[in-house]
Amino acid sequence: MSFGVFDHSAASMLEAVIQHQKQGEPFGVYAACTANAYAIRAVLQQAFRDGTGALIESTASQVNLSGGYTGLTPHLFRRQVLQMAMQIGLPLDRIIIGGDHIGPHPWRHASADHALQQASALASACVLAGYRKMHLDTTTPCGNEARQSDGSLPLELISRRAADLCRVAERTARQAGLSPPYYVIGSDVPPPGGGDMAEKTVPVTDVEQIEETVSACRRAFEDRGLSNAWQRVVALVVQTGVEFTPRMVHPYASDRMQPLVAYIRQTDHLVFEAHSTDFQTPAALARMVADHFGILKVGPALTYAMREAFFALAEIEKDAFEGRKSVAGAYLPAIMEDVMVSDPGSWQHYYRGSEEELAYLRRHAYSDRIRYYWSRPEAQAALKHLFATLRQTPPPLSLVLQHLPEAGQKIRDGRLANDPEQIVLDRIGAVANRYARACNPVLA
């Protein structure tokens, strides 16, 4: 099965954001930055219910020409998303596929030449696969290249590299007869995969730094004959002061952002793109959209909600069927703990503390490093067993109400099936619903 490349949804959705924001109207879109099938399905279902579009993005580490840590190339990722949309009944022209942190980060330990060659190949592959929005992130130092005193690369070098990636994407689109993508620049945020363990207040980007970034990028684009592409740069990533560590969430403070808001309102075609907005309150998300954040990124909060549902279902199974031999030894949280302890590579550099604290963080940390383990065979087998048990003998409503009160109420009211997969999608959907309503006041 092949899918055509749909252009008009990207143009209408992103340009509508710019138009509304420049008219002083609080309107935006949220980007689900995830490769998890449950999370993607829940976001697509939300768009179907709301009658809106959906923006789904993959990072350069998740999806690349080597398969990333998901095993997916850009073509396969887009194919997977569109197949799910067809199953749901969401029109394919209401979907935008985007790329996040497209740049050298996954190959940062190699030489700069090799890393940038890989990044260029990825940018080209994204265009050919039908990606219509790309965040160009060339801030990551590679190999042993010289850095400034703060460990960063010079702004001029970052800008030139971003323009070079843009030139590759534009050339690829032109040669293939495709509409070129929209772009996002800037990356004044923690690196892909999460920041450090710091609990201190997160700084906000200052206006002078924004002005320098925009000026340097514009010059680099124009020097390469990319003036038309510059008109499709729709957003700038800045540090908003919001962030989440494994143990806490830094809330959005609108008053700290007002100098940046005043600056961005004066630009012709730029809004802010906010990263790391996961776990913010509905009021904070709505305030960000009103403060000219036209694009809100969310990722770990979606899979965190999924994990909450998985573990709650495991507790329901335990309470309802603990005496059964078929349930013994199949307790999902214990299986996931064993998998993570036996292979700590995806969490050990992000969590610190005593053994008890590490055990807690492996399950419940906001950074949700457990999301890297759900595709493991042991996890898939445990989930298959859990779902089969709960489908064979649906648990009493009283247990669902105890462990998943909102889902239990919907089941009691006839608004949700007492089915484990539907319960999981409903839990994730609550996060998607929060973002949808923050971005579009008409839906509230």
Q: Among 10-14, 28-32, 108-112, 277-281, where is mean pLDDT lowest?
A: 10-14
Report the 10 Å Cβ neighbour count for 182. Answer: 23
> 6 or 156: whose pLDDT is higher?
156
pLDDT at 3: 47
How far from 12 is each of 154, 224, 265, 385, CA to CA, in Å?
Answer: 35, 27, 20, 44
328-369 residue pLDDT tens:
568 999 999 999 999 999 999 999 999 999 999 999 999 999
Does the pLDDT of residue 84 top 60, yes or no? yes
Residues in the chain: 444
Mean per-residue pLDDT, 269-278: 95
Encoded tokens for 374: 């759900």
Domain boundaries, the chain: 8-298, 304-432
Mean per-residue pLDDT, 178-197: 73
> What torsion, rounded to 10 degrees, do the Cα atoms 238, 211, 283, 296 define?
-50
Whole-angstrom Cα distance, residue 404 to residue 165? 46
pLDDT confidence band for 189 (50 / 70 / 90): low
366-378 residue pLDDT tens:
999 999 999 999 9
| CATH superfamily, domain at 304-432 | putative tagatose 6-phosphate kinase domain like (1.10.400.20)
pLDDT at 348: 96
Residue pair 422/32 in contact by the 8 Å Cβ criterion: no
Q: Among 65-69, 111-115, 149-153, 423-427, where is mean pLDDT lowest?
A: 149-153
Chain Cα centroid distance, residue 279: 13
> 398 or 330: whose pLDDT is higher?
398
Who contacts 353 (Cβ-Cβ below 8 Å, separation ≥6)?
361
pLDDT at 30: 97
Mean per-residue pLDDT, 419-444: 95
User: What would you measure as the largest C-alpha separation in the chain, in angstroms?
Assistant: 71
304-333 residue pLDDT tens:
999 999 999 999 999 998 756 556 568 999
Report the 10 Å Cβ neighbour count for 269. Answer: 15
Does the pLDDT of residue 405 top 50, yes or no? yes
233-237/29-33 β-pairing: unpaired
Residue pair 180/169 in contact by the 8 Å Cβ criterion: yes
pLDDT confidence band for 4 (50 / 70 / 90): very low
pLDDT at 254: 97
pLDDT at 2: 45
Does the pLDDT of residue 73 top 70, yes or no? yes
Encoded tokens for 114: 């090799």
Encoded tokens for 45: 């279902």
Q: Which residues pair with 249 in a beta bridge?
A: 244
Report the 10 Å Cβ neighbour count for 235. Answer: 26
pLDDT at 5: 44
- 8-298: what CATH class? alpha beta
pLDDT at 428: 98
Does the pLDDT of residue 224 top 80, yes or no? yes
Chain Cα centroid distance, residue 48: 19
pLDDT confidence band for 298 (50 / 70 / 90): very high
Q: Which residues pair with 86 in a beta bridge?
A: none
pLDDT at 52: 92
pLDDT confidence band for 10 (50 / 70 / 90): low
Residue position matching structure tokens 């993570």? 340
101-142 residue pLDDT tens:
999 999 999 999 999 999 999 999 999 999 999 999 999 999
pLDDT at 441: 87
Instruction: Give the rounded percent of residues in the chain with a pLDDT score beyond 90.
Output: 87
pLDDT at 8: 45
Whole-angstrom Cα distance, residue 89 to residue 234? 29
Q: Which residues pair with 393 in a beta bridge?
A: none
pTM attached to this predicted model = 0.94
**Of the candidates 287, 264, 234, the residue with the CA atom closest to the CA atom of residue 98:** 234
